Amino acid sequence: MAILSERPFLRYAIILKVVALCLLLPLIFFGLDYTDTGYSTTMAWMQAAHPKAALWDFNNFGSAFLAGFWFYTGADSLLAYRFQWVLMMTASALLCYVILSWFYDDKRAIAFALVPTLILAAFNSEEGLIVEYHNLPGFLALASGALFLRYFARKSPQPPLPSGSDVPSGSVGGREATLYMLASGFIAALMVFSRLPMLLWCAAVYAMLVFAALRGYDKKIMLRIAAWLMAGFVAGGLACVGLLILRGFTVQGIIADSIKSMNAVNTFHEYAALHPELGYYPLLVSTTLRYGKILSVGAAAFVVAFLWQRLTFLRGRAGRVVEGALLLAFGVGIVSVVILLASKSLGFHYGPITSFLLGAPLLIVAYIMLAEWRTMDVPKQILFLAAFTFFVLVSLGGSGVWVSNFRHGVWLIFPIAILESRTFVSQYLEFRFVRSLLIVGAIVLGIALRLQMPYRDQPTYRLHTWFSSPAVRGIVSSQGRTESLEELLGELRSRGLRESDTLQAYPSMAMVYFVTKTIPWYKHPWIGQMWTVRKDLTDYTQVCTSFPRYVVRGKFDPNTAVSLDADRPTNTFALGYTPEKMFYGEYAYSHDCATYLDSLFLVEKKYTIVWENKGFVLFAKP
């Protein structure tokens, strides 16, 4: 492709890559989360190490399966697994750079716009800086979308070319386009395998082909492209099935587990729909409320743009001083909010700031698209449509609430908003200062959050003790958390626990399996608040003949905080307390499977405490 040989293109691509690596690499050393990070890491590791023991989970299995191939490179530590995330996020930034370079000439401005985009997408991460089902589908969508959009880049609809004429500059020929569409469809199949709702992205791509045909593109060529996309998708789907079979699955088992998983109530939002007494909202209502929040807060950008267009005295030197002072105050305000209110749960205290950074670019791009639609060429229209589709679908679902998932969809919308708002001025609005607010806000908020709030660990300034155990070597955490885990691992080794042995750890402590390289007694590595497995766990326990030698229970302590759910109220049950009474009787609300294990394992099976420290309690089978 001609654009890849352009010297400015390559120069700024290299700069963007270096900046991305410099920003991302320092993050992966800090913080250890036993819960979400442990769950996704253990699932991915089990796909490679113990595929027959891995749980087929409709939401997470595909992403964990694909991410798990990283462990075939010899990676066996959390630090090595996080490095995969660094490569994926850097590749996402470069993919966006390539896509936008097809539609915008200023390569420097594109690279500049992608730096705050990268920070907004990565520094606010709540998944422990690993590849998992929130971020992997977005990366695959970018890769598939780049191959698809390449056909339309700089290529407006036109009459058929005379025989022997050259293809317009920047466009692709027939054979090249065929290969692009085959590859795009193939990657789209992997994307859907990683998370099923992304099937809607494929439907959106076909809708864009219909749109292109209606806007003047050759209908036969659009049909041909659709056919090649479908061929690539089918090939990708067969490849996924083939990989599953090579890993020990059977066709019948794949079908049965898929049906079971799709029929299971196994997402936060689906569960919330069945339990309104918890105060949560089902998926549709929750998504609507989240969009209402980011759009209502983001609308402040129009107020700022309206005022800035009329304050003509700000065009000179005094205006630059005022603008700098306001941006400085905005940055200081963000840092103050994050630091002063860091003890608040779930980050809701900085939700309005994040909502502005997400909602404002969405509204800006929508406004510019509506204002310039009649004069905008078709390729750019398709780019804008793809950006909106990406934002909506990549952010769809997931276990996060409010604005936490929307950051995964900023890859195209945010840089487009920055690029377009540089020069856009209408009779009523000027977005130049809003653009500065978005850039400063994304950078300052991202850095402040990573300094103050590593996911489910102490603030960064309290992380100064390094782990020495192989699986977490190179990770730094607080002294209490580090010492507690190292003591537990030493005790388990002294008792003869070896890799590939069976262990049970709860509640919400899946990281213990990855660190010890052991297999969960029950296939689901997250036991604790896991309502989705309670019936299966009951049935599994009733027919089980072999229980684990050791059960590890996490404590809750401000200095160790090893478990998300360990601070839940603990119920003490008399010997013989039945799971049916707990699950379906007078304590139906106490669905916590950790309590189930308390009653069943530790009471009925007469497990005894053999060791404990500040973070863990170790039970042994008599």
Distance from C-alpha of 286 to C-alpha of 291, rounded to nearest angstrom: 9
Measured CA to CA in angstroms, residue 571 lies from 59, 446, 597, 598 at distances of 31, 40, 11, 9
Average pLDDT over residues 242-249: 85
Average pLDDT over residues 567-587: 42
Is 117 among the domain residues? no
Is 194 among the domain residues? yes
State yes or no: pLDDT of 111 exceeds 90.
yes
Question: How do strand 465-466 and strand 476-477 relate by DSSP bridges?
Answer: antiparallel
Whole-number percent of the chain with pLDDT over 90: 34
Residue 157 preceded by cis peptide, ω within 30: no
State yes or no: pLDDT of 179 exceeds 50.
yes
State yes or no: pLDDT of 412 exceeds 50.
yes
Measured CA to CA in angstroms, residue 375 lies from 168, 214, 218, 339, 604 at distances of 21, 17, 21, 46, 74
Average pLDDT over residues 356-371: 92
Question: Residue 83's pLDDT is what?
Answer: 94
State yes or no: pLDDT of 350 exceeds 80.
no
Label residue 317 exposed, middle or buried (CB < 10 Å: 0-12, 13-18, 19+). exposed
CB 464 within 8 A of CB 476: yes
pTM of the complete model: 0.86
State yes or no: pLDDT of 214 exceeds 80.
yes
Among residues 237, 264, 291, which one ends one of the domains?
264
Q: Which amino acid is at 59?
A: N
Which of 438, 516, 495 shows the shortest CA–CA distance to 611?
495
Average pLDDT over residues 200-222: 89
Q: What is the DSSP letter of 57?
A: -
Among residues 213, 242, 264, which one ends one of the domains?
264
Taking the CA atoms of 577, 583, 588 and 589 in sequence, report the sign of the dihedral they define.
Answer: positive
Question: Residue 341's pLDDT is what?
Answer: 65
State yes or no: pLDDT of 583 exceeds 50.
no
What is the tens place of the pLDDT at every residue in 72-86? 888 889 999 999 999
503 forms beta bridges with: 520
Residue with the larger pLDDT of the pair 402 and 296: 296
Is 150 among the domain residues? yes
Question: Residue 591's pLDDT is what?
Answer: 45
| Sequence-ordered alpha helix ranges (H) in 421-471 | 432-452
Measured CA to CA in angstroms, residue 141 lies from 57, 138, 201 at distances of 21, 5, 8
Residue with the larger pLDDT of the pair 168 and 519: 519
Q: Give the pLDDT band (50/70/90) at residue 20.
A: very high
Residue with the larger pLDDT of the pair 498 and 173: 498
Q: Report the number of distinct structural domains present in the chain.
A: 2
Question: Residue 5's pLDDT is what?
Answer: 54
CB 436 within 8 A of CB 40: no
Is 144 among the domain residues? yes
Q: Give the pLDDT band (50/70/90) at residue 453.
A: low
616-620: strand order across its sheet? 519-520, 502-506, 550-554, 616-620, 608-612
CB 383 within 8 A of CB 142: no
Is 576 among the domain residues? yes
Is 426 among the domain residues? no
Average pLDDT over residues 447-459: 77
Residue with the larger pLDDT of the pair 158 and 213: 213
Question: Could you tell me the two tokens for 532?
Answer: 């989705």
What is the tens place of the pLDDT at every residue in 24-70? 999 899 888 888 888 889 989 988 888 877 777 666 788 889 999 99
Average pLDDT over residues 563-591: 43
Q: Which of 212-221, 279-288, 305-314, 434-443 has the highest mean pLDDT?
A: 434-443
609 forms beta bridges with: 619
Distance from C-alpha of 611 to C-alpha of 347, rounded to nearest angstrom: 35
Distance from C-alpha of 286 to C-alpha of 377, rounded to nearest angstrom: 36
Q: Give the pLDDT band (50/70/90) at residue 170.
A: very low
Helix or strand run (H / E) with residue 612? strand 608-612
CA dihedral 288, 291, 292, 293 (to 10 degrees): 130
Give the per-residue SS3 of 311-351. Answer: CHHHHCHHHHHHHHHHHHHHHHHHHHHHHHCCCCHHHHHHH
What is the tens place of the pLDDT at every residue in 536-561? 677 777 777 788 899 888 876 655 55
Mean model confidence pLDDT for the chain: 80
Give the structural domain span for 257: 133-157+169-264
State yes or no: pLDDT of 288 exceeds 80.
no
Helix or strand run (H / E) with residue 503? strand 502-506
Crossing angle of helices 199-214 and 136-152, rounded to 10°: 20
Is 370 among the domain residues? no
Question: Residue 577's pLDDT is what?
Answer: 42
Question: Residue 89's pLDDT is what?
Answer: 95
CB 217 within 8 A of CB 381: no
Question: Residue 384's pLDDT is what?
Answer: 94
Among residues 264, 294, 327, which one ends one of the domains?
264
Distance from C-alpha of 213 to C-alpha of 220, rounded to nearest angstrom: 9
What is the tens place of the pLDDT at every residue in 428-450? 888 888 999 999 999 998 888 88
Mean pLDDT lowest for which of 124-128, 163-167, 458-462?
A: 163-167
Residue that has been written with the tokens 């196994």 in this structure: 266
Question: Residue 582's pLDDT is what?
Answer: 44
Is 590 among the domain residues? yes
Question: How do strand 608-612 and strand 519-520 relate by DSSP bridges?
Answer: unpaired
